[in-house]
């Protein structure tokens, strides 16, 4: 019997300040804001068809340590755009892996709560 899993519907990222997180993910990263339930410390964004759920955990035991990789078409242009919006990267885009078919490039950063992330692009050879 095959598993019933057909894909990822939502990913949770723990944050400590929902207003600050909304600002960062909407205004700096440029993700499409979907909604914020009234009187709850959570917000939802669209990230290429996967819903990103930002939430303040109700108990520290629910704090998630996520590490997200955001796919971009042009890593140099994305790097420059995000830097201009105030995002501080650890370093410029760098080559991670190269094959005959192409190369994987990444540039890392953290959100205001210290969650790690990378922008990534696969460049054809």
**Per-residue buried b or exposed e for 64-79, using 16+ beta carbons within 10 Å of the residue's own CB:** eeeebebebeebeebb
Domain count, the chain: 1
Report the SS3 class of residue 35: strand
- Does any domain span residue 83? yes
What CATH number should be reported for the domain holding residue 57? 3.10.180.10
- Does any domain span residue 4? no
Q: Divide the 125 residues of the chain into consecutive groups of 10 and give the mean pLDDT of each group.
A: 77 96 98 96 96 93 88 96 97 96 96 94 93
In 1-125, where does DSSP find H-type helix? 18-23, 75-84
Q: What is the pLDDT of residue 84?
A: 97
- Does any domain span residue 5? no
Q: What is the pLDDT of residue 94?
A: 97
- Does any domain span residue 81? yes
- Does any domain span residue 2? no
Q: Count of CB atoms within 10 A of residue 15's CB?
A: 26
- Cα–Cα nearest to 41, from 22, 18, 64, 60: 18
Q: What is the pLDDT of residue 1?
A: 65
Q: What is the pLDDT of residue 58?
A: 87
- Does any domain span residue 106? yes
- Does any domain span residue 42? yes
Structure tokens at 15: 């944050």
- Does any domain span residue 75? yes
Q: By residue range, what is the domain housing residue 33?
A: 10-124
């Amino acid at each position: 019997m095959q598993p019933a899993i057909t894909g990822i519907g939502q990913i949770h990222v723990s944050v400590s300040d929902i207003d600050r997180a909304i600002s960062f993910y909407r205004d700096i990263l440029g993700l499409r804001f979907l909604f914020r339930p009234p009187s709850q410390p959570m917000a939802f964004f669209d990230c290429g068809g996967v819903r990103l759920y930002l939430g303040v955990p109700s108990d520290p035991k629910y704090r998630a340590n996520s590490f997200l990789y955001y796919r971009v078409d042009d890593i140099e242009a994305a790097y420059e755009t995000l830097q201009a919006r105030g995002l501080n990267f650890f370093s410029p885009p760098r080559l991670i892996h190269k094959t005959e078919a192409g190369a994987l490039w990444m540039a890392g950063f953290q959100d205001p709560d210290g969650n790690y992330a990378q922008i990534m692009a696969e460049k054809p050879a």
